[in-house]
Structure 1
């Protein structure tokens, strides 16, 4: 196994279990090359601990939801370092993945100025076609051809 996809809570639980068990402490984790995490950001303290436990792993953060199948954004490994903790870039959700368009909009579906909070909307071939037997809900979230995530961002 070389790649893992986990939530930060799962990484925390793995590290706690490993630290509490002499048997698990002896396991070599150097074969892990990539860890993609999502569902929430990772704290700098947890990232530091995980970097020690997985010495050859690169960390990536993915943002998405079931309705986006492959996701919406990716924060690349290069941003998981002290320099980008200071700059704040490590705390972003990253950039839109190659197959999607992403905007941050207000309640009128108008793009907000950079730095202003709005709703994440996404469109692309990975966006669902609709909810089964729920045309009203489908119309509500797929307004104007964009998936309205309900998630706030800037």
Structure 2
């Protein structure tokens, strides 16, 4: 029997939520290689937004499908992210995201996994991610309501 509600997170996905300066330096160097930092070492907001645009929609689609039979599941995930964002718990937000990636049996993309190494970068990611999540919820709420009314528990996508 498959355990549908387990989550596997590889340590490499959370290794940048650390106080180890050597690890953080490696991650900042990798961020620079990936173009996520400007020449001055600041987060590249356009690159971070590009990451959100590329990863968010497939993530939301799969998560919504996976939680379709759980009462309030997808909305609760949104509300939890919102709560963490409102409290400025950016590392908690990232850790929750990592758990959900594991729940989907996906690995956190490298371009996302390095972001906690620079507090301003993860903060920018969280803001853009929440905007994308809000936009997704607005554009897909009618599908979710229709699925609930039909008793399918899952919108046809």
The structure that is helix-richer by fraction is 2
Structure with more contact order per residue of length (Cα contacts < 8 Å, sep ≥ 6): 2
TM-score where L is the length of structure 1: 0.26
State the structure with more CA Rg.
Answer: 1
The structure that is strand-richer by fraction is 1
